[in-house]
Amino acid sequence: MNILIVETVWMGSASYKFLDKTLLTAFSILPTLQAREIAAITPKNHTVSIVNERYTPIDFQKNYDVVHINFVTSTAPHAYEIADRFRKNKALVVLSGLHASGIPEEAKQHSDSVLIGRPELAWLVALQDIEQHKIKPFYQAPPFETSTRLPPTMISLPGFVITGALEATRGCPYQCDFCPETNIPGGSQYYERPIDDVITEMKTIPQKTLMFYDNSLTIHPEYTKELFRKMKGLHKRFFCNGNVDVLARDPELVHLSKEAGCVAWLIGFESVSQETLDAIGKKTNRVDEYTQAVHNIHRHGMAVIGCFIFGFDTDTPAVFKETLKVIKKLKIDIADFSILTPFPGTLLFKQLEQQGRILTKDWKNYNLKTVVFTPQQMIPEELLAGVQQMYTEFYTPLYAFKRILRNLDNGFYAFFVVFSRTIIAIMNSRRVFTKVKKSKGFKKPTMP
């Protein structure tokens, strides 16, 4: 069969400025992975092409037997437009991804079939059924077995691809209330690829720098330590996600990561309030371990990329000032600030919907930079302005420059990661946020 796999780009509701677009198409720093994983597992008797509109317009006139679109919530409206156009042309359309898995009934209205959960294995079953002309409306992803082998994924993109990407593991068992990744069916099943397969794949990636897209490389420390030991001598440089508990308590893992070529750990701190972390079920984080986790990473000359979310029910307008104070004290190198977003399928979405607090179901606004629900302890404009203010304060030219310079001591790659992620953070914050309207009760957040 002639198959097209479409990957949708996360653009939120904003349009790119000319310079941003030129930079994004010329350099790929964080390449997309999932469409390429789907292409990689597709049996070789099919002809497969991948299209990403960032680089190439979609040719709707071409005859495809099957079009597979993988998307997230903020790209759902656009993915549905693409699906509808292909269906008009009589192509068979399959949808997958976090949004389609969260509300498959909606996705089914724009497709012939929906893959629910991680798409790779369900895709194989769906393809067999399509060949036998007995496609089903929904496919629930079969669980990964220990014997499951996932093929390597080649990242070949137009432009200059700076970073390669791969996943050693799948899923996350922790199921934080707000997390769309693990609240989809099967998303909390944790699966580890055989380490030798991961190493073999890594050797085929031409780029020296890599991003592990795994939800967290600290879920099973013994697996990760073995992976890091086997990476020694490959001369790769990489950054990856990890959780506070292991990074604070397991200095050996942090040490091995440095020896394997790690230049930065990305940590979902989410909040600097233990009360908030307890309320959202973020079991891996203890605020009193933040200092130790960051210290262990910095001690080995690696950078810390911290992610923070605002708008939890426990957050008051004082949360911005408190968070900035802690971030500065911890000396976090790069920070990403998001507005709490109730993605369909999550416990958070169900709770807010029951409470009548969902403000919009215009999915393109579910981009982490728009307030789509009524916060408990502030008005939406305060939440939006607070997050914008966090970017302004954290990325003041002098403060950003100091952090970049500080990482020069950690070698070129740590410097490069901090430099490039700073540029990405500034670009993202400029292009995605909407203007704050100052309605009744609005107070501009104060900062330290």
- Site residues (CB under 6 A) for ligand SF4? 172, 174-176, 179, 181-182, 215-216, 243, 268, 282, 284
Q: Give me the least distance between CB of 112 and ligand SF4, in Å please.
A: 31
Nearest-approach distance from CB 172 to ligand SF4, in angstroms: 3
Answer positive or negative: Cα dihedral of 257, 261, 264, 267: negative
Q: How far is the CB of 221 from ligand SF4 (least distance, A)?
A: 14
**Which candidate, 294, 310, 321, 306, places its Cα nearest to that of 425?**
306
CB of 213 to ligand SF4, least distance (A): 11
H/E stretch holding 5 reads strand 2-7
- Asked if residues 265 and 304 have their Cβ atoms less than 8 Å apart, the reply is yes
Could you tell me if 391 and 447 are in contact, meaning their C-beta atoms sit under 8 angstroms apart? no
Cβ closest to ligand SF4, residue 268 vs residue 380:
268
Closest CB to ligand SF4 among 91 and 246? 246
Residue 245 or 353 with smaller CB distance to ligand SF4:
245
**Least distance CB 171 / ligand SF4 (angstroms):** 9
For 245-314, give the DSSP string: HHHHH-HHHHHHHHHHTEEEEEEEEE-S-HHHHHHHT-TT--GGGHHHHHHHHHHTT-EEEEEEEE--TT
Sheet containing strand 237-242, edge to edge, reads 163-166, 209-212, 237-242, 262-270, 303-310, 334-339
Query: Looking at beta carbons only, is 139 or 190 nearer to ligand SF4?
Result: 190
CB-wise, 32 or 285, nearer to ligand SF4? Answer: 285
* Smallest distance, ligand SF4 to C-beta of residue 323, A: 17
**Residue 203 class from Cβ within 10 Å (0-12 exposed, 13-18 middle, 19+ buried)?**
exposed
101 or 182: whose CB is closer to ligand SF4?
Answer: 182
Q: Which amino acid is at 93?
A: V
